[in-house]
């Protein structure tokens, strides 16, 4: 972080999963929920294979760029398990996009609300850029951004580390000097490479615990820089 200047910062872009909340903790909660569900619904065990292959194929196609990516991700899964698209969408919608949201507030990293508040107070705009849809997740964590971008949006159609999403955000905010933008993510091979390809400074979120002051320190730096500008 010490190599990144916040003096001219105009926009901070956040990844979501593993960046704003503790993904390991969420997975533990989800594992318990899934085990409980399938104990009482053993005839639906094939839903686990749907979830596995949906995630696996998205990971196998990282960096993919192509038309109608939102639909393509389900087609990849169907090719592996031979289930109807509607069934895949139903299962993925329930277990990936909806059910986990109830746990997100309790998994949110310490200091993230303070950082969002500090950025908003200093008129530094906040964007969200995730490979997954994030609006409902943000609501669950009680966080607000100025712009929400997903890799599967029709105007992006590209998974990280393809830089389409970051370039779109810069264009939307009128950013011409990439040093006025900062991308914060948890995966160096995806978020970090995406930032590198877009020419944007990057901060890695790595194994944050309750004792890790990363977001609190970022808040202090933002406030200190803003204070210096007013002197």
Q: Which residues contact 206 (CB under 8 A, 6 or more apart)?
A: 186
Quote the CA–CA distance of 195 and 10 in Å, as a whole number. Answer: 16
Q: In the predicted model, what is the mean pLDDT of residues 171-182? A: 94
Q: Where does CATH 3.40.50.1000 sit in the chain?
A: 11-22+107-230
Six-digit token string for 202: 């990057």
* Residue count of the chain: 231
Quote the CA–CA distance of 220 and 217 in Å, as a whole number. Answer: 5
Please determine, for residue 212, whether its predicted confidence score (pLDDT) is greater than 70: no
Q: In the predicted model, what is the mean pLDDT of residues 91-111? A: 95
Name the class of domain 11-22+107-230. alpha beta
Percent of the chain residues topping a pLDDT of 70:
92
State how far the alpha carbon of 106 is from the alpha carbons of 89, 140, 154, 177, in Å: 27, 10, 32, 37
**pLDDT level of residue 206 (50, 70, 90 thresholds):** confident
Per residue in 111-158, pLDDT (tens digit) is 899 999 999 999 999 999 999 999 999 999 999 999 999 999 999 999
pTM of the model: 0.90
**pLDDT level of residue 82 (50, 70, 90 thresholds):** confident
Quote the CA–CA distance of 22 and 170 in Å, as a whole number. Answer: 27
**Per-residue pLDDT at 214:** 80
**Per-residue pLDDT at 112:** 93
**Per-residue pLDDT at 4:** 60
**Per-residue pLDDT at 189:** 96
Name the average pLDDT for the chain: 91
**Per-residue pLDDT at 1:** 42
Q: In the predicted model, what is the mean pLDDT of residues 170-194? A: 95
The residue with greater pLDDT, 178 or 210, is 178
């Amino acid at each position: 972080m010490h190599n990144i200047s916040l003096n001219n910062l105009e926009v901070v872009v956040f990844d979501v999963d593993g960046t704003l909340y503790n993904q390991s903790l969420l997975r533990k909660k989800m594992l318990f929920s899934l085990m409980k569900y399938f104990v009482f619904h053993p005839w639906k065990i094939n839903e686990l294979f749907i979830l596995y292959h949906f995630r696996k194929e998205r990971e196998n196609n990282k960096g993919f760029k192509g038309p109608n990516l939102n639909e393509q991700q389900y087609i990849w899964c169907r090719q592996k398990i031979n289930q109807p698209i509607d069934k895949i969408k139903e299962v993925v919608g329930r277990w990936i996009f909806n059910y986990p949201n109830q746990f997100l507030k309790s998994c949110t990293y310490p200091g993230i609300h303070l950082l969002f508040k500090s950025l908003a107070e200093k008129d530094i705009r906040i964007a969200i850029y995730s490979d997954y849809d994030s609006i409902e997740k943000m609501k669950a964590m009680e966080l607000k951004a100025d712009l929400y971008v997903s890799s599967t949006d029709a105007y992006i159609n590209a998974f990280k580390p393809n830089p389409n999403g970051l370039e779109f955000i810069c264009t939307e905010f009128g950013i011409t000097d990439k040093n006025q933008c900062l991308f914060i993510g948890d995966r160096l091979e995806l978020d970090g490479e995406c930032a590198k390809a877009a020419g944007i400074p990057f901060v890695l979120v790595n194994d944050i615990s309750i004792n890790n002051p990363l977001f609190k320190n970022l808040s202090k730096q933002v406030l200190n820089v803003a204070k210096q500008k007013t002197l």
